[in-house]
């Protein structure tokens, strides 16, 4: 499976705003938190998608709609 990573944010509120905007447009989105160098970061994802082609198509739409430079990554639980 594949997911689209819309961005990684140092400000959790900004991540939540992007997640909620994408949800309002009908995209399945969620956030995860991680620690990097002692700093808490929040990532925004859309998906998962069964195949890479579907993820790539959604990536292109999200990039255009939300002015982001997302990446497609393999989904792991």
pLDDT for 12-23, tens place per residue?
A: 999 999 999 999
From residue 2, alpha-carbon distances to 13, 14, 17, 20, 59 in Å are 25, 24, 23, 21, 11
Stretches in the chain below the pLDDT threshold 50 = none
Tokens of 23: 């949800």
- Cα 76 to Cα 73: distance, rounded to the nearest angstrom: 9
- Cα 57 to Cα 39: distance, rounded to the nearest angstrom: 32
Listed in sequence order, the residues at least 6 apart from 29 whose beta carbon sits closer than 8 Å to its beta carbon are 6, 18, 19, 22, 23, 44, 45, 46
Q: Which pLDDT value is given to residue 76? A: 76
Q: Which pLDDT value is given to residue 66? A: 94
């Amino acid at each position: 499976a594949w997911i689209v990573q819309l961005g990684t944010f140092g400000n959790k509120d900004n991540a939540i705003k992007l997640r909620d905007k994408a949800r309002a447009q009908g995209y399945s989105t969620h956030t995860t938190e991680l620690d990097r160098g002692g700093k808490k970061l929040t990532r925004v994802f859309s998906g998962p998608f069964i195949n890479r082609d579907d993820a790539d198509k959604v990536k292109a739409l999200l990039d255009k709609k939300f002015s982001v430079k997302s990446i497609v990554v393999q989904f792991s639980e």
